[in-house]
Amino acid sequence: MRCLVFPLLALLLLPACGPDTGEPQAGSLMVGDSLVQLALPAPGATVSSPLRVEGVALGYYFFEASFPVRLEDGNGKELATAPATAAGDWMTEDWVGYSATLEFAAPATETGTLILERDNPSGLEGNAHRLRVPVRFASPSE
């Protein structure tokens, strides 16, 4: 009997890319969609400051080699924002590695959301895109 891979699961569990080349790296998993994928942190991961964010995005997700990454607490309050910077040539339609580091104070909520946002200098809604990933915050004693 053959194993069937459901399309949504196949889209969410894609191979991660190396930080230098943007090429797939065996053994790693990413979540995301057809525009941006996140390797670190995993959805539901327990995070603390500084938070390292890594993955790949299509070249046109960037503007001037970066796009914004935000961290919100469980009430939607912004805790941190930083640019995710391209690890290579971003002027392409191919996948490009990115990374960002977010520093934040311990929030009052136990959970929050990491948001990767397509840089959209035009402001046109048709160009807007966000990947929202749930996270848990480490307690001060962790």
Which token pair is 23? 């090429």
Which CATH number goes with the domain that contains 58? 2.60.40.10
Pair 39, 58: CB distance under 8 Å:
no
- Could you tell me the CA-to-CA distances from 42 to 21, 107, 136 in Å, in that order? 21, 19, 10
Question: Does residue 56 carry a pLDDT above 80?
Answer: yes
Mean pLDDT in residue range 92-111:
96
Place of tokens 């995301």: 32
User: Is residue 88 packed enough to be buried (19+ CB in 10 Å), middle (13-18) or exposed (0-12)?
Assistant: middle
Q: What is the mean pLDDT of residues 110-116?
A: 97
Provide the greatest CA pair distance for the chain.
Answer: 51
Is 5 inside any structural domain? no
6 in a structural domain: no
- Kindly tell me if the per-residue pLDDT of 142 is higher than 80: no
The predicted structure's pLDDT at residue 23: 42
Q: Is residue 4 part of a domain?
A: no
Number of domain units in the chain: 1
Asked whether residue 57 is domain-assigned, the answer is yes
| Cβ contacts of 89 within 8 Å, gap of 6 or more | 59, 96
pLDDT digits (tens, 9 = 90+) for 71-88: 999 999 999 999 999 999
pTM recorded for the entire structure: 0.77
Residue 82 belongs to domain spanning: 15-137
